Amino acid sequence: MSLVSIRSERADHPQVVALLDALDRYLAGLYAPEANHIMSIAELLAPDVSLFAAWQGERIVGTAAVRRRMGGGDTGGRPYGEVKRMYVDPSVRGQRIAERLLQAIEQALLDDGLGWALLETGSAQHEAVRLYERCGFSRRAPFAGYPDNGQSLFMAKELSKAGSREERSA
């Protein structure tokens, strides 16, 4: 097991694309196409999106993105960051890489003055749901026009500066 570093990366990096393809195949095995809410590579390259990659040596082993969103009626008008495209290569799971990717997203949101992270995940993704709950996310109502289809779970987390980069370096 070598060290893992988390850093910003372009969504069209070949290794990122390969991991996102693996994620898409995994999701296609769990849900019907209309139940998958997948951001394309082009959407991930938008200026309101940040993508983070977990590097282990010369290999990208995990991805996570966050899309900054303006608030709507289903968020009380409050802006937020939406967690998207979380995936860690199965061969390296158990090393807390996903938690570190979430921490990078949370720090990016705090740096941008956003204190709320929301996400949609599938009810059949038990490991992902446990991860999000362990990292402080709790269930909430649908948002951003997602359908309440019985397969999606919606979660939110209030972000705090406690444990942020500034706090850790003090």
Angle in degrees, CA 104, 8, 154, rounded to 5: 50
Task: Render pLDDT for 81-117 as a digit per residue (tens, 0 to 9).
Answer: 999 999 999 999 999 999 999 999 999 999 999 999 9
Return the pLDDT at 35: 83
Return the pLDDT at 162: 57
Residue 63 pLDDT class (50, 70, 90 cuts): very high
pLDDT over threshold 60, residue 170: no
Residue 125 pLDDT class (50, 70, 90 cuts): very high
pTM of the predicted structure, to 2 decimals: 0.90
Return the pLDDT at 169: 38
The token duo for 115 is 């204190």
Task: Render pLDDT for 14-33 as a digit per residue (tens, 0 to 9).
Answer: 999 999 999 999 999 998 88
Taking residue 140's Cβ as centre, other Cβ atoms within 10 Å add up to: 15
Beta bridge partner(s), residue 18? none
E-strand ranges in 90-167 read 116-122, 138-139, 152-158
Please tell me the distance from the alpha carbon of residue 21 to that of residue 106, in angstroms, as a whole number.
Answer: 25
Beta bridge partner(s), residue 52? 8, 64
Indicate the range of 71-75, 99-103, 118-122, 136-140 predicted with least confidence.
71-75
Q: Is the dihedral of CA 72, 74, 75, 80 positive or negative?
A: negative
Return the pLDDT at 36: 86
pLDDT over threshold 70, residue 129: yes
pLDDT over threshold 60, residue 166: no
Read off the pLDDT of each residue in 133-160 and give the average, rounded to a whole number: 95
Q: What is the DSSP letter of 164?
A: S
pLDDT over threshold 60, residue 39: yes
- Domain chopping of the chain, boundaries: 4-169
How many residues can be counted in the chain? 170
Report the CATH fold assignment for 4-169.
Aminopeptidase (3.40.630)
pLDDT averaged over the chain? Answer: 92
pLDDT over threshold 50, residue 60: yes
